[in-house]
Amino acid sequence: MTRSRDDGMFRFTTAAFAAVVLLIVIAIGVELWRQSFLSIEKFGLHFWTGTIWNPVSGQFGALPFIWGTLYSSILALIIATPISLGIAVFISELSPQMLRQPLTYLTELLAAIPSIVYGLWGIFVLTPIVRKLELAVPDPLKKLPLFSGPPLGVGMGTAALILAIMVVPFTSSVAREILKNVPMAQREAAYALGSTRWEAIKVALGYGKSGIIGAVMLGFGRALGETMAVTMVIGNNPQVSASLFAPQYTMAAVIANEFTEAADELYLHALIEIGLLLFIITIAVNALSRLFIWSMQKRTGRTVILRPAAIEEVAA
Amino acid sequence: MRYATRRKIVSRVAEALCAVAVLLALLPLVLILFYVLKEGAGALNLAFFTQMPKPVGETGGGMANAIVGTLILIGLAGVFAVPIGCLCGIHLAEYPETRFSSVVRFAADVLNGVPSIVVGIFAYGLVVLPFKRFSAIAGGVALGLLMIPIVVRMTEELLRLVPSGLREGALALGATRGRAVFTVIVPAALPGILTGILVALARVAGETAPLLFTSFNNRFWSLDVTQPMASLTVQVFTYAISPYDDWHRQAWAGAFLLVMIILALSIMARLAVRRLERMNRG
């Protein structure tokens, strides 16, 4: 009798704490909306299409930031995806057993280095290197919109590179987990039909396709919200440009730089509205990536365990 | 025959490219660690740990206030996040299959994916606005929010590593669920959970963005948690974007210290988990 009551108490108490986690996520959304309504009401949809950001005259158009965030994240994805998949394939399919653990650990270590350290390294080491590369771009290529503008070093290209480095551990760890969950029989069947090793790997990748897409999207979600390292190398200039050389700005960076300077309420609400959009986009991207991974899970009937990177270090 | 050879070559090339991908990812890791070591270790001295920042223009000085500030901030974060995170993790481990548990697990994943700068805005609205002042408490809350999902998942996973025989034994002896969890299962996983918490602390100790407008920064010695407080990361940021060479030097020293703390804790955590796994097998 008391035993079942005790068990109920235990269940209820721990559930209450679990509910707090749920409440926090809801509260973040509500709070962001509450703190940005001035800007939402005043500008409506123009906020998202306006290209002029001038706090002094009270003009707030967020398009350059949205562009900067999406462009830098997509560029980072283009660089990081092949590398991440290569790492996942190497560790789970090709590497000698002995190397697996250390390689996993080392790639995870990339996720453990603080953003600010990436930023510091970006300013003093990567930026000068990128500037040299930009100077080396031959003149005919400079006519392309991708390489137009003066070679400053800081700008979209450097930001995309830093982001790519930071995203690799996230994508590769999920992709590795996906490959681990592809049934061995898939590869064996391929070998039995006379496949080479690479062809068998392609079969495994094909089987895990939706999971792999989920892994890539997870990396995308990371890149969208990354703040410090990008702020330090992207140049912080609100403009919509396709050039890799151009100093641009991202949503997270403008919040980091201008939040404490926002003197009037409208300015603050405009910045928080950018935060609200960032919150919605990252949730959508993360949820979508989960859906892809779940559909992979249904197929194999095995649970793909997704861990925050910090845990990967401990439990790997 | 020629077709078969071509396929073999393609296979070899693709395999080699995968190995190249690993090297490409390890290259920045090595470069970053190399520069942090080269620029940072040399800049580290006793003054860095014991002295306050010097006024603009004077060389020397240290980050004593920022080091203590970071410790206080992650302490506050831990006080806030560990009870919620651990109890939530216990619930997920004990009732893994319920609908509520999968919703909470999803919420924890969402929270883990929310950009830290957005969490900073939330903490700003929650703590800074009502009290009309930047404070260490606000910074601690922001870091705590970032810690919670890590602690939740860490606790859940480590509790699941505990051999089921231990739980069954406790229940067979007539222990209630709560008693079995708190006197048998949690103690068995405790070394892992504790080091897991340390890793989570190290992780949030490296956060900068959510502190910029919560704990802000402070050039003076302060232990008052209702006042703005300096932190290693914000100080490194301030110094990194400054035009002074001596400040750059100190920024590298700060980065070196951060990386060392994180490496040490992550190695400790791995050792603890190894032990737990051995216990699980043996």
- Cα separation of B241 and A229, whole Å? 12
SS3 of B180, please? helix
A11 touches chain B (CB under 8 A): yes
Question: Could you tell me how many CB contacts below 8 A there are between chain A and chain B?
Answer: 293
| Predicted local distance difference test score (pLDDT) of residue A141 | 84
DSSP B124-148: IIIIIHHHTS--HHHHHHHHHHHHH
A103-123 pLDDT, tens digit per residue, is 988 888 898 899 999 999 999
Q: Where are the alpha helices (DSSP H) in B206-244?
A: 232-240
SS3 of B215, please? coil
Nearest to A92 by CA among A31, A181, A165: A181
Strands A53-54 and A59-60, bridge-based pairing: antiparallel
Spatial contact of A72 and A230, defined as CB atoms under 8 Å apart = yes
- Cα separation of A253 and A237, whole Å? 10
- Cα separation of A286 and B269, whole Å? 28
Nearest to B150 by CA among A134, A125, A33, A112: A112
User: A233 to chain B nearest CA, in Å?
Assistant: 10
A5 touches chain B (CB under 8 A): no
Point out which residues pair with B53 in neighbouring strands.
B61
Burial class from Cβ neighbours inside 10 Å (0-12, 13-18, 19+) for residue B4 reads: exposed
**Which of B31, B118, B195 has its CB closest to that of A279?**
B118
| Predicted local distance difference test score (pLDDT) of residue A314 | 52
**Which of B109, B121, B212 has its CB closest to that of A272?**
B121
| Predicted local distance difference test score (pLDDT) of residue B264 | 83
DSSP chain A: -HHHHHHHHHHHHHHHHHHHHHHHHHHHHHHHHHTTHHHHHHHTTHHHH---EETTTTEE--HHHHHHHHHHHHHHHHHHHHHHHHHHHIIIIIS-HHHHHHHHHHHHHHHHS-HHHHHHHIIIIIHHHHHHHHHHS-HHHHTSGGG-S---S-SHHHHHHHHHHHHHHHHHHHHHHHHHHS-HHHHHHHHHTT--HHHHHHHHHHHTHHHHHHHHHHHHHHHHH--HHHHHHSB--------SSS-B--HHHHHHHHGGG--SHHHHHHHHHHHHHHHHHHHHHHHHHHHHHHHHHHHHTSPPPP--HHHHHHH-
Q: Is the pLDDT of residue A271 over 90?
A: yes
- Cα separation of A107 and A307, whole Å? 15
SS3 of B95, please? coil
Window 159-178 of B: residues touching A by CB (8 A cutoff) are: 174, 176-178
A83 touches chain B (CB under 8 A): yes
Spatial contact of A190 and A199, defined as CB atoms under 8 Å apart = yes
- pLDDT-derived band of residue A305, with 50, 70 and 90 as boundaries? low
**pTM: predicted TM-score of the whole model, two decimal places:** 0.92
B233 touches chain A (CB under 8 A): yes
Q: Is the pLDDT of residue A292 over 50?
A: yes
Report phi then psi at B8, rounded to 5. -65, -40
CB-CB neighbors (< 8 A) of A105 in chain B: 270
A224-265 pLDDT, tens digit per residue, is 999 999 999 999 999 999 999 999 999 999 999 999 888 889
Cβ within 8 Å of residue A189, ≥6 positions away: A203
Half-sphere exposure of B85 toward its Cβ, with a 13 Å CA cutoff? 30
The tens place of each residue's pLDDT in chain B, 282 residues long, gives: 588 899 999 999 999 999 999 999 999 999 999 999 999 988 888 888 888 888 887 888 888 999 999 999 999 999 999 999 999 999 999 999 899 999 999 999 899 999 999 999 999 999 999 998 999 999 999 999 999 999 998 899 888 888 888 888 998 998 888 889 999 999 888 887 887 888 888 889 999 999 999 999 888 888 888 899 999 999 999 999 998 888 999 999 999 999 998 888 778 777 777 776 676 665
Q: Does CATH number 1.10.3720.10 belong to domain A62-248+278-315? A: yes
| Predicted local distance difference test score (pLDDT) of residue A312 | 53
Checking phi first, is residue A194 left (phi over 0); if not, alpha (psi -120 to 50) or beta? left
User: A74 to chain B nearest CA, in Å?
Assistant: 17
CB contact under 8 A, B273 and A125: no
A124-176 pLDDT, tens digit per residue, is 999 999 999 999 888 888 888 888 888 888 999 999 999 999 999 999 999 99
A43-77 pLDDT, tens digit per residue, is 988 999 999 999 888 899 999 999 999 999 999 99
ipTM over 0.95: no
Q: For tokens 């002295």, what's the residue?
A: B51
- Comparison of pLDDT for A308 and A5, the residue scoring more: A5
- Cα separation of A136 and A130, whole Å? 10
**b/e code A32-57 from CB counts within 10 Å (16+ = b):** beebbebbbeebeeebeeeeebebee
Cβ within 8 Å of residue B99, ≥6 positions away: none
Residue of A nearest to B82 (CA): A17
CB contact under 8 A, B114 and A83: no
Nearest to A258 by CA among A240, A272, A239: A272
- Cα separation of A211 and A218, whole Å? 10
Domains and CATH numbers, chain B: 67-281 (1.10.3720.10)
| Residues B195, B144, B204: CA angle, nearest 5 degrees | 60
Running DSSP on this structure, what letter comes out for residue B54? P
Structure tokens that stand for A178 in this block: 């996906």
Domain limits, chain A: 62-248+278-315
CA A27 to chain centre: 23
Q: Is the pLDDT of residue A1 over 80?
A: no
CB contact under 8 A, B208 and A226: no
Q: Is the pLDDT of residue A316 over 50?
A: no
- Cα separation of B111 and B152, whole Å? 11
Q: Is the pLDDT of residue A187 over 70?
A: yes
| A4: number of Cβ within 10 Å | 10
**b/e code B56-80 from CB counts within 10 Å (16+ = b):** eeeeebbbbbbbbbbebbbebbbeb
| Predicted local distance difference test score (pLDDT) of residue A302 | 67
